[in-house]
Every structure is written in C-alpha cells, then in structure tokens.
Structure 1
Amino acid sequence: MTTATTARTGLWLIGARGSVATTTIAGRAALAAGLTPPTGMVTALPPFAGIGLPELDHVVVGGHDIVDVPLAKRAEQLVAGGVLPHGLPAAVAAELAAADEEIRQPGDDPAADIADFARRHGLHRTVVVNVASTETDPAISTGYATAAIEAGCSYVNFTPATGMRAPGLAERALAAGLPHAGRDGKTGQTLLRAALAPMFAQRALTVRSWSGTNLLGGGDGAALADPAAAAAKNAGKERVLADNLGAVPEGTVHIDNVPALGDWKTAWDHVAFEGFLGARMVLQTIWEGCDSALAAPLVLDLTRLVARAHAAGLAGPVPGLGFFFKDPDAGPAALGDQYQELLGLARTLRAAP
C-alpha cells in the first residue's frame, strides 16, 4: 500500500546545476544512503516525526538549467571549495548521474518537461523549487511558476524573484488545488535578524539604526552585483525589521561581490540601540557561513512539507512555512512565532489522511 511517506515524489529544481541544487542533490543521496546525519534539516526534528512526510529515498530529482556542466563536476568543484566533504561525489556518483539525465535545457514548454518527468517515473506528485540565481526579469520566474501549475505541481520559490506573486498566479494555483510557498530562503543574515529583532521589541529597547554588509562570491555574488537584483534581495532583509520593529530603522544594507569567497559569505550587522534613561549601546554580529550548505537542507525540508501538504489536500500558500523565508506569503515575522506556526502545520499534517 502506497502512503504519503512511501509515495514517489518528484523534486524539479530550477537552476538544477547551481551550487544550492548540486548540494541538495548530493545531500539527498547521502541522507538516503545513511552516509551523513540530517544536520540542518528541520523536518528531522522530533515534532515532525510521524506526520507522513515523503522519505528521501522515495524522492526523484530532475530540473532545468541553462548550463551544461555535469553534476559530478559541479560536485567536485564544491569539494574543492570546502562545501561538500571529500569522497562524497564518488559515493553518490550513480545518484548524481541519474539526476543529470533528468536535467533539461529551458525550452518553449517547461510544463511538458515536468509532466514527462512525472509520467516516466510514476510520481504521485512533484514539487517545483526555484533555486536559480537572482534574476531581474520577472517573466523567467513567473514562467516557471506557471509551468508548475500547468503540470499540476506544487511550487516553492527559494529566491527573491517574482514567481507566484505575479498577478493571478496564486489564484490559479488555489483553483487547481495546488499548494505553494515563498519567497527567498532565509539562511543567514536575515535569519539572524528575525531572531534578534523581536528581542529588542520585546525588551522595549529602541533600535536607532541597523546597518549591514554582505560579502559573497559564487553565482549569487555575480548576480547580486546587479543593483536591481540586489534591491530585490535587500527588500526581504528590510521587511523582517519593519515587521518586527514596526518600521525600518535608519541604516543601509550593502551586498559586495567578492569572487574569491566562492560559495562562502560573511555578513556583518551593526545595531545602535537605546536603553533606559537614554543609554546608547551597540550590538555587532558577524555571520560566516556556506550558503549552499545552509540552503540545501531547507530545500529538502520544503520539498517534503509541501509534498505532504499537497497529499493532505491543502491548496494556496501553506500556513506555517514563513519560518523558511525572508518574504513569506503570510504569517508572523518573529522567528520564534514562525516556528510555533510551523509546529501547527505539523499537527495539521499529522491529523490529515
């Protein structure tokens, strides 16, 4: 008997040969084979056990990308950059090759590619996840969101691109009974802001200014060198402050492309705040991390949760998934409140058929 847990689930990645996608594909294979612990995966925590999430060894991967570098080579590049552990590409070579065979160049009918993928593999449902580099042409991401709807698939926008926010698309997804989630995965600086900003608000401390700088390389660094792309990214960083503090405090966010950093990034925040009797104080934080390693487990989490939501009959924006995004579809802004809402989703899914 096929259950939501054992049903074959498709993961269709937009930007399937990028760093995040390659880390996701290699990581899924390693987890399914028991080669690594599920560090960084929220759905591996106890509250999410027994709620019918698809098992990772029942997830089949494909996708679209404009580049043709084989996944095995991309994985070796990530090993050289310190993102993937030595020996992993060889250990999951068969899984990388299988995913490679399912990656298509974008064409005139992406929905047909997705539908063909689902048919050939006998998939019960497929989740389309956008992990492409930030782009300034909304038609690209909205085209893939449209393709997901036309192929009968749920959709996750892990980027700041327009995606399902284009006029009419969310309504189409709801009418088709399809769940979706977005946008812009919360992995570093904004994750920290979502945790810290509520502290100031709840302790009645006045934030006078909040400035930040991001240094990053890789594909995202190059893409975000474009001012329009950077503006879309920064909007989510500002939203978390506005939602938690009531307004965006004085200060700016800079994103600098440093190619030498590769897939690693450094984020610095300077918070000037005021306490009792006007005492002026400062909090400074430095976040150094690997964006691909931070993002990949969340992509797997979202795939499992959205696929389960689809199986449970949920449609439209999935409540509780704001925990994963800078610019969520709905829900609270504080990280702790978002986590409580996510736990509520887990309870809903546990009770669903």
Structure 2
Amino acid sequence: MIPGMGAVATTFVAGVEAVRKGFATPIGSLTQMGTVRLGRRTESRAPKVNEFVPLAGLNDLVFTGWDIFEDDMYAAASNAGVLERALLDQVKPFLSSIQPRKAVFDHNYVKRLDGPNVKKGKNKMDLVEQVRQDIRDFKKSSGASRLVMIWCGSTETFIEQGPAHQSVKAFEKALTQNDESIAPSMIYAYASLSEGVPFGNGAPNLTVDVPAMHELSRRNEAPICGKDFKTGQTLIKTILAPGFKARLLGLSGWYSTNILGNRDGEVLDDPGSFKTKEESKLGVLEHILQPRLYPELYGNIFHKVRINYYPPRG
C-alpha cells in the first residue's frame, strides 16, 4: 500500500511487474540479488537473501495506493518519464489496473502541489478512519494475508515535535482537534499502525519519529522504519564519508547539490519542504564523521545542501 503514486512508486511497481514477466532484471534489489554468507569464506556457501529468509515472492505481491491526482499507475508512470516507453507498454495492462484511492492531503503541508482526488472529513480523526477502512477493504478484496504501507509521498513542510506527539492519548486528542502539528503522513502512519500494518517512511518527514508512533507500534506489534529513501545525494555521502573517516582524512567543507525533476523537485522548491529535507541531509555527515571525537579533522566543516528543481524533460 503506497501513499503517493508518483515517479518513485510507479517506477517500483512497474519494475516488480517487469521482473515478474521476465522483461527485466531486479538490479539494485538486495532481496532479489543479494546473498548471505554462511560459515567461512572458504566454504563458498552464499545463498540468495530470498532463498535464505522466508520473504514473500514477487509473484505474491499486490498493490494499491492513494494519490491526489486521478491518473492510474500507467498514466502516472508515463507522465513521470522515468522508464522507457517500450518497457512501460509491456506492463501497461497491470499498471492501468491500479487506480488511486482518494488521498489525505492538506495544501498547507505541501505548498507546490494540489489535486482533485482528495478525501474530505469533519476532522483528522475522521480521515484516519477513512484510511483504516481503505486498508480493510484492500485486504479483503486482494486476498492478501499481510500488508505493509510505504510512504512514497512528498516531503512535507518542516514540523518540530510537540505536545501532540508525546503519547497515543495526546495524539488522538489532537486528531479530533485538527491540530496543525499532525501532517497527512502522520494520519497514514497512525491508520496503518492502528490496523497492525508495518509502516515505512520514504521521506524525511517527522511522521513516525515521535513517541506516540513508537507507543502505537509497540502496542500493536507493527514495525516502523525509514527516514527518507536516501538514494541520491545522501547515498553518495554515505559511501564517501566512511572512506574518509576510515583513513582519518580531514574535511573543511562539503557542498551537496541535487537537480530534481517531477513532483519531488517541484515540492522541494518550497522553502518549508526543503528545510525538512535539509535537516535530514545535514545530519548524515555528523553521524558518520563524529566531529566531537575528531575535532581536528571534522570539527569545523562547512556543509551546504542545495536542491534545484529542473522540470522533467522525458
């Protein structure tokens, strides 16, 4: 189940279907191509992850999603322009069958987007109940034995943890009061965890990084994970920085830039959403380099993060 059926979600789902049909190889997939070493290196025992761990097979996966636009996944993938048309057309029947459910959306949290396919409710708790019903309906109609929700929606405007986030009781009260500190991603996460469904956060939003979500996760034994997919600028940092650290090579500065198209880039053109992303990206180097332990090497780094929107060109 995917809130946000844009470029990331449609590329993922199209890729899964292409692999299932034999049109593509699962490049970049740890579960499908990665291996696990057993015993000593000399024993040459390295089964694939999906052979060693009891994971659901690709053929067992079913999908649904929510989006503020009414395009099915084929139309959305075509508009995103990430995948070649020839590949998209091979999986068109499957992608066309996935229609977006009405989304929980508030323009105040994502100022550069707006769309017609949006849920209405008397308050945020009502919206939670609508998402919970969507979850139940999908589980019944799909026949899935278990579910997982992965946030593939936009980066929301920056929110700091506050009183509404400190416990489930406080969070539920805030939902009924339409508290501004509860963003749409939190509504999805709360609905998901309330149904006992694990939630993965693919954006740097606050979402599940609050005591209320931790409490609900433990209570319903529904795992939470994620703080952005980190597949671009941050990925490069996490590859290079450990190398510098291992060799104890000092740094005086780090300039990071992303050039993004599609909705992700458009949304991050807004200062509020950019700040959410910036906070996440700035923290990576500090975590890896540990400037407090190595002040001579990393204690005075000038770290600049830039994200520039460049409209997609296909």
Matched, 1:241 2:269: no
Partners of 1:237 and 1:190 lie apart in 2 by 6
Q: Which amino acid aligns with 2:309?
A: N
Matched, 1:62 2:60: no
Higher RCO structure, 1 or 2 (CA under 8 Å, sep 6+):
1
Q: What residue ranges of structure 2 are gaps of 5+ in the alignment?
A: 37-48, 105-118, 120-126, 160-181, 292-297
Where does residue 7 of structure 1 map in the other structure? none
Given that 1:216 and 1:261 are in contact with CA atoms closer than 8 Å, whether structure 2 keeps it comes out as no
Deviations 1:87-131 (A, max 9, x none): 22322222113322x634443211110111012222111110100
Q: 1:28 to 1:260 in 2, by over 3 A?
A: closer
Where does residue 334 of structure 1 map in the other structure? none
How far apart are residue 205 of structure 1 and its match?
1.2
Which protein has the bigger strand share?
A: 1
Given that 2:72 and 2:98 are in contact with CA atoms closer than 8 Å, whether structure 1 keeps it comes out as no
Q: SS of the residue aligned with 1:253? A: strand
Where does residue 294 of structure 2 map in the other structure? none
Partners of 1:261 and 1:210 lie apart in 2 by 29
Given that 1:104 and 1:113 are in contact with CA atoms closer than 8 Å, whether structure 2 keeps it comes out as no
Q: Which amino acid aligns with 1:34?
A: G
Given that 2:2 and 2:65 are in contact with CA atoms closer than 8 Å, whether structure 1 keeps it comes out as yes
State the structure with more CA Rg.
2
Deviations 1:142-199 (A, max 9, x none): 1110010122211000011122113311111111111121110110111111111111
| Among candidates 105, 113, 117, match of residue 138 of structure 2 | 117
Q: Give the root-mean-square deviation of aligned CA atoms.
A: 1.8
Given that 2:14 and 2:88 are in contact with CA atoms closer than 8 Å, whether structure 1 keeps it comes out as yes
Partners of 1:202 and 1:24 lie apart in 2 by 34
TM-score by length of 1: 0.66
Superposed, 1:275-286 pairs within 5 Å as: none
Where does residue 22 of structure 2 map in the other structure? 34
Partners of 1:261 and 1:160 lie apart in 2 by 26
How far apart are residue 261 of structure 1 and its match?
5.4
Where does residue 135 of structure 1 map in the other structure? 156
Partners of 2:263 and 2:76 lie apart in 1 by 13
Partners of 1:261 and 1:181 lie apart in 2 by 33
Where does residue 250 of structure 1 map in the other structure? 302
Where does residue 287 of structure 1 map in the other structure? none
Superposed, 1:286-305 pairs within 5 Å as: none
Q: What residue ranges of structure 1 are gaps of 5+ in the alignment?
A: 1-11, 263-353
Matched, 1:49 2:101: no
TM-score by length of 2: 0.74
Partners of 1:145 and 1:235 lie apart in 2 by 21
Where does residue 216 of structure 2 map in the other structure? 172
Q: Which amino acid aligns with 1:62?
A: T
Q: Which amino acid aligns with 1:14?
A: P
Deviations 1:245-282 (A, max 9, x none): 113721311111122556xxxxxxxxxxxxxxxxxxxx
Partners of 2:86 and 2:275 lie apart in 1 by 39
Partners of 1:143 and 1:182 lie apart in 2 by 16
Given that 1:198 and 1:244 are in contact with CA atoms closer than 8 Å, whether structure 2 keeps it comes out as yes
Percent identity of paired positions between Structure 1 and Structure 2: 33
Given that 1:112 and 1:151 are in contact with CA atoms closer than 8 Å, whether structure 2 keeps it comes out as no
Where does residue 218 of structure 1 map in the other structure? 262
Q: Which amino acid aligns with 2:15?
A: G
Given that 1:129 and 1:157 are in contact with CA atoms closer than 8 Å, whether structure 2 keeps it comes out as yes
Given that 2:72 and 2:97 are in contact with CA atoms closer than 8 Å, whether structure 1 keeps it comes out as no
Q: SS of the residue aligned with 2:211? A: coil
